[in-house]
Amino acid sequence: MKSHYQILIIGGGTAGIMTAARLLKKDSQLDIAIIEPADTHYYQPAWTLVGAGAYTYKKTARPMASIMPKKVNWIKDFAMAFDPENNAVSTKSSGNITYDYLVVATGLVMEPSMIEGLQEALDKGVVCSNYTNPKHTWEVLKNFKGGNAIFTQPTTPIKCGGAPQKIAYLAADYFRKKGLTHTSNVVFATPGSVIFGVKPIRETLMKVIGRYGIHFKPFYAPHKIDAENKFIYFRHVAPEENKCVINEDTTIGEVSIDDTIIKLPFDMLHIAPPQAAPKFVRNSSLVNDSGWLDVDHHSLQHNKYPNIFGLGDVAALPTAKTGAAIRKQAPVVADNILKLIKHQKANNKAYNGYSSCPLVTGYGKMTLAEFDYDGNFTPDPKLKRMLVFNSAKEHRRLYIFKKVILPYLYWNKMLKGKDV
């Protein structure tokens, strides 16, 4: 097996496959390898719907071999460490692989150990997560007979920041259909200050919260889980100027332990685990102080090593970690690498932080949040022409777009390097 490649990509997820496919579309003679140990590639955006019984889990999975671009050398192995000074990556069983250009597209990893009790509780009993096992979420939802259904997320960055609230809305809608509304309390607790940062979307979501009677708890950071006794503890993380005496919500059995800790009983708990860059990335010289890949926010070129690029969930970009963001990042990375190969400057700085979050608000309902680095609502012109209406409002056509059209575009266009 070869040990040197012109372009080496770490990661066979959305970012790695898209970048390779786009590069080969521009120049089929490029010498590209992807390091990826997994046999299966998942379309994870559909896991929200799987967790609510509205999509088949099997349909989210395809063999990695079927989506790997044909002219790419697939190194089925684990990347273990970087040696950027010598343009090398060490692997678990294939030795050192050297490169002219490196693309870091490793994605992120779940770190449940960052919340006390979560690792032991996750995906067992009534504690579930669409991030790790959406089939278990659906089982928990079906078996729910009433009480507190709590939905929460950690203080770390997470992939698809809207996913923890999407399942809350779907659960609330499911309880309504099953006649459980009057015996159920749906709680959405977030360390954030608002339900969503983009104003037109926030206005829509606050109406959704009102419609379902969801108990919305901002500044609540999950701190500890006692799965045996079915209690979750939150730390109240409001800044000093927003701090006040915590008003206990007696309808959901909320108890203040002290000035900052709140205890809540649950009969169902859905949680997004804390998330981080993979350990070998965190332990390298390629990351910023927060442990994410240190790249330029607009060109995706590494801030220290000019022949290294990073995109997708592992990149230290102040925007949401979504496949839609990668759709806009991959063309910039591909263009800049091709420029470097031609001894030109990597001066494509076109990435403006675009990301989008399809926020499912019930069965058959969705709003589409599209935004940039500045939090502006930025509907994609192509989508706008396709959808015609205001995508900040709930619409059935948007739900169909997520459930039917987006998976088709993903498998047949995005992963093949085509413009979408």
Cα(130)–Cα(123) distance, integer angstroms: 9
The pLDDT, as a whole number, for residue 244 is 60
What CATH number belongs to 118-274?
3.50.50.60
The pLDDT, as a whole number, for residue 283 is 97
The pLDDT, as a whole number, for residue 243 is 63
pTM of the model: 0.96
* Domain parsing of the chain, residue ranges: 4-108+277-352, 118-274
Cβ(63)–Cβ(415) under 8 Å? no
Domains 4-108+277-352 and 118-274 share a fold: yes
State whether the Cα torsion 416-396-272-52 is positive or negative.
negative
Which residues belong to the active site?
Answer: 160, 357
The pLDDT, as a whole number, for residue 241 is 66
Cα(246)–Cα(268) distance, integer angstroms: 23
Cα(248)–Cα(250) distance, integer angstroms: 6
The pLDDT, as a whole number, for residue 61 is 98
Main-chain dihedrals φ then ψ at residue 333, nearest 5 degrees: -60, -50
Superfamily of domain 4-108+277-352: FAD/NAD(P)-binding domain (3.50.50.60)
Average pLDDT by stretches of 10, the chain with 420 residues = 95 98 98 98 98 98 98 98 98 98 98 98 98 98 98 97 97 98 98 95 98 97 98 92 70 92 97 98 98 98 98 98 97 98 98 96 96 92 72 93 96 95
Q: Is 104 helix (H, G, I), strand (E, B) or coil?
A: strand
Main-chain dihedrals φ then ψ at residue 134, nearest 5 degrees: -65, -25
Cβ(270)–Cβ(171) under 8 Å? yes
